[in-house]
Amino acid sequence: MRLLITHEEIVDICKRLGFEITQNYKGKTPLVVCVLKGACPFHSELIKHIDLDLEVDYIQVSSYLGTESTGVINFKKDLEFDIAGRDIIIVEDIVDSGLTLSKLKLELQKRKPSSLKFVSLLDKPSKRKVEFKPDYVGKTIDDLFVIGFGLDLDEKYRNLKDIYVFNQD
Ligand code: 5GP
């Protein structure tokens, strides 16, 4: 495992994104949605730096088998709130092929939110299979498989406070 992003850098990223979101949603009450499970630590840190009367919700969608995306969206846990007419910010850990969030976007748009934006801690644009551009990105990375700070490999390593590149050695 090779250290890629320190916890301190992650907190700095959250401060920057939190400030941008605070500026962009002044006077609004966004619903800040965590995509379980991987985005949990990022969502928790990010909302500390958003100075708004926000609300939170949680959603769990498709699975990821080993290191290959299935590309199939499956709602394991749906939102608690009705999002019609609301400002929705979806918080994800990483965008890879773009399949998960592009499909989630299509599904959630059917519920007629007032606005729907996406924040991702990490982005791997070189891996896209479908066009998808998050509205806010913490850090763009190369085509690497990363673990830690919520990101898993078969459910392990989510508890690491930093982010590492996973390799077999
Ligand atoms: P996509 O649908 O964009 O291909 O994949 C999104 C999901 O795949 C992410 O939410 C994450 O769960 C998983 N994923 C993609 N790349 C990585 C990676 O480098 N490391 C880990 N741990 N998960 C990844």
pLDDT tens sequence across 7-64 = 999 999 999 999 999 999 999 999 999 999 999 999 999 999 999 999 999 999 975 5
Q: Against a cut of 0.85, is the pTM above it?
A: yes
Of the candidates 30, 20, 100, 22, the one whose C-alpha atom is nearest the C-alpha of residue 60 is 100
Classify the C-alpha dihedral 96-101-102-103 as positive or negative. positive
Would residue 87 show up in a list of annotated catalytic residues for this protein? no
The answer, yes or no, to whether residue 68 has pLDDT greater than 70, is no
The response to whether residue 146 sits with its C-beta less than 6 Å from ligand 1 reads: yes
Task: Give residue 169's pLDDT band: very low, low, confident or very high (50, 70, 90).
Answer: low
Which atom of ligand 1 lies closest to the CA of 95? 3
Report the Cα–Cα distance between both ends of the chain, in Å, rounded.
7
Task: Give me the pLDDT at residue 144, please.
Answer: 94
* Token pair of 105 as six digits: 């976007």
What percent of the chain lies above the pLDDT cut of 70?
93
Q: Roughly what angle, to the nearest 10 degrees, separates helices 40-48 and 7-24?
A: 60
Task: Give me the pLDDT at residue 50, please.
Answer: 98
The response to whether residue 151 sits with its C-beta less than 6 Å from ligand 1 reads: yes
